[in-house]
Structure 1
Amino acid sequence: MRYRNWLVLGLALGGAALASPASAANGHYVPGVEGLNGAMVPPPGLYYRGYLARYEIDSLRDGGGDAAPGRNRGEVTALVNRLVWITDRQVLGADYGVEAILPVVDTSLRFGGVGLDDGDSGLGDLFLSPLVLGWHGERWDAVFAAGQWLDTGDHAADRPASPGKGFDSTMLTLGGAWRLDEARRWTVSALSRYETHGRQSDTGVTPGDSLVVEWGLGHRLASGLTLGLVGYDAWQLEDDSGAAPGDKAEQHAIGVEAGVFWPALGLGLNAALYHEYDNRAAPQGDLLRLTLTQAF
């Protein structure tokens, strides 16, 4: 019964943990897309970043972390398009920039154990940020940003695979990176995203605030190849407003990443694989992420 109750609550939120199963806890932001370099703002210029993510769901987890009975599988494939402009102006000693993010999502859910079979694809919700600040020291970097996820994607409360969430979210970003040696080959980094959500118009439910922390430990080889250990942790911090009390969602993952950047071309490629190991009130699975960065 607890699995059925959890599923009904998720559907009431348009699938807070189901509509975009690769999303953080109950928010918009997808954990694991930044990895080793997430806390590093590039120098002034115009940049495109394309993230291709594939999330393979192998189980549903209740609030205690136990798997729901039966066969519950699903896939989410997303191409996330991000445009970043770092200006030559400074604010509070930091490089100032703006950014926009638009995901394209394809979702297939086959949760036979709880009687759900749904699929959909389309444009997800648009993110706009008028404030990106990047600080740079001799052996450290820091970032602060603020922006808004807009309710622009298609959403239906009875379609958990809908590409949109059905509500707005304000997202604050804070992160930093530290080079552990003078040669700047070893780097440790952490990036946090805090989301506060608006009311979902077709259900009257306001999801509780959520937090994502991505972390990484990387080493750059003499060849220019960077290898590292990465992970993410995501929590729903508050109960949903306007819905019956339920378990708060969590996601926890660890993985590996490899990347290379060619300065002469202004081109970078990264790949990461994450394994989720202790999710609560959410799907659980593995995330493969490929990232292309192009400086113009």
Structure 2
Amino acid sequence: MKTTSIAAAAAAAALALLAATGAHADGHYVPGVEGIQAASVPPPGMYYLGYLVNYNIDDFRAPGSSTNLPGHNSGTVTALANRFVWITGHKLLGADYGVEAIVPLVRTSLTINAAGISDSRSGVGDIYLGPLVLGWHGPQWDAVAAAGMWFDTASTSHPASAGKGFKSTMLTGGLTYYFDGAKTLSGSALMRYEFNGRNSAGVRPGDQLTLEWGLGKSFGAVSAGLVGYSQWQTTNDDGAGASTNKAARHAVGAELVYPVPGAGVFLKGAVYKEFSATAGTGPQPKGSLVRFTLVKAF
């Protein structure tokens, strides 16, 4: 009983610190939004990509461990990430050059009894601007490189607020390879690295590396395959209450891609289940993710 009380008190203290400082235990980028052919940049043109994501949190890992916080703790995050991409007709380093922006709309509900937190909030999340998108295309491969910044534009005043409270510079690189000349069988890997800045309380969350992968097969117009993601915290948190513990999580799932002929639209759906999660300085959520994507070419 005494050990359980100590664990609960430690968990509550860590969560209270996070709520007060806005120091979330992860970066801005949400894994699982890309899957099959994740590293393939479309041809020149204007594109809208709408990612509707529902992340259902089954539990929270206790700070510095892979065990759950005591008591009943759960949450739901529903987001519509509106991504606007313009691939210009210009070349840079032999690649198609483009720019992009992401404006997320977020609804978060948290019930964390270990810290006495019960909160639900909706709002516009932190905005991303990417002035550099490069897409290369070979006979049986595609590659991408990109750079941009997440801005701390959203609110952080409550535990379920949409903002992170800090800026992040994000670098992207990836490769899609087609195993046959007809491009019916593909494998892809997309990596994003976030260099996190400090928040108003002087806390700097550790940098984050995200890997999204997919193995896809085309069946005529429809494609399906296995997908997954992994995230690793690569550097220590810095500031008041920080520790040397690093967060990580891993998931696997499946995706289906269905084009709408004549409308310039692709519909994608995917489900993921996180099978491993380890917390860093703060608690780490573990759950399942469902994602629907609409891609519209103009």
The TM-score, its normalising length taken from structure 2, stands at: 0.92
* Post-superposition CA distance 1:80-124 (Å, at most 9, x none): 000000000000000000000000000000112332111111000
Q: Does the 8 Å contact 1:15/1:160 carry over to 2?
A: no
Distance 1:215 1:46 in 2: 25
Q: CA 1:138/1:263 → structure 2, altered by over 3 Å: closer, same or farther?
A: farther
Aligned to 2:54: 54
SS at match of 2:276: coil
Distance 1:245 1:54 in 2: 29
Letter in 2 for 1:239: N
Aligned to 1:149: 150
Of the structure 1 ranges 243-252 and 286-295, higher mean CA displacement relative to structure 2 is found in 243-252
Q: CA 1:13/1:254 → structure 2, altered by over 3 Å: closer, same or farther?
A: farther
Establish whether residue 184 from structure 1 lines up as the match of residue 183 from structure 2: yes
Give the number of equivalent residue pairs.
284
Q: Does the 8 Å contact 2:37/2:186 carry over to 1?
A: no
Aligned to 1:102: 103
Distance 1:3 1:217 in 2: 39
Q: Does the 8 Å contact 2:186/2:217 carry over to 1?
A: yes
Distance 1:173 1:8 in 2: 33
Aligned to 1:289: 291
* Post-superposition CA distance 1:103-162 (Å, at most 9, x none): 000000011233211111100011001100000001000000000101111112xx2211
1:34-73 alignment runs, 5 A limit: 34-62=34-62, 63-73=64-74
1:1-296 alignment runs, 5 A limit: 1=7, 2-17=10-25, 26-62=26-62, 63-156=64-157, 159-201=158-200, 203-222=201-220, 224-246=221-243, 247-262=245-260, 264-281=262-279, 282-296=284-298
Distance 1:9 1:155 in 2: 13
Moved beyond 6 Å, runs of 4+: none
Distance 2:116 2:153 in 1: 29
Displacement of 1:7 after TM fit?
Answer: 2.2
SS at match of 1:165: coil
Q: CA 1:15/1:206 → structure 2, altered by over 3 Å: closer, same or farther?
A: closer
Q: Does the 8 Å contact 2:11/2:114 carry over to 1?
A: no
Letter in 2 for 1:213: L
Letter in 2 for 1:150: F
* Post-superposition CA distance 1:166-196 (Å, at most 9, x none): 1110000000100011221110000001000
Identity %: 53
Q: CA 1:186/1:9 → structure 2, altered by over 3 Å: closer, same or farther?
A: farther
Q: Does the 8 Å contact 2:81/2:104 carry over to 1?
A: yes
Q: Does the 8 Å contact 1:15/1:161 carry over to 2?
A: no
SS at match of 2:18: helix
Unmatched tracts of structure 2, length 5 or more: 1-6
Letter in 1 for 2:55: Y
Distance 1:40 1:9 in 2: 41
Distance 2:17 2:188 in 1: 35
Unmatched tracts of structure 1, length 5 or more: 18-25
RMSD over aligned Cα atoms? 1.3
Displacement of 1:6 after TM fit?
Answer: 3.8
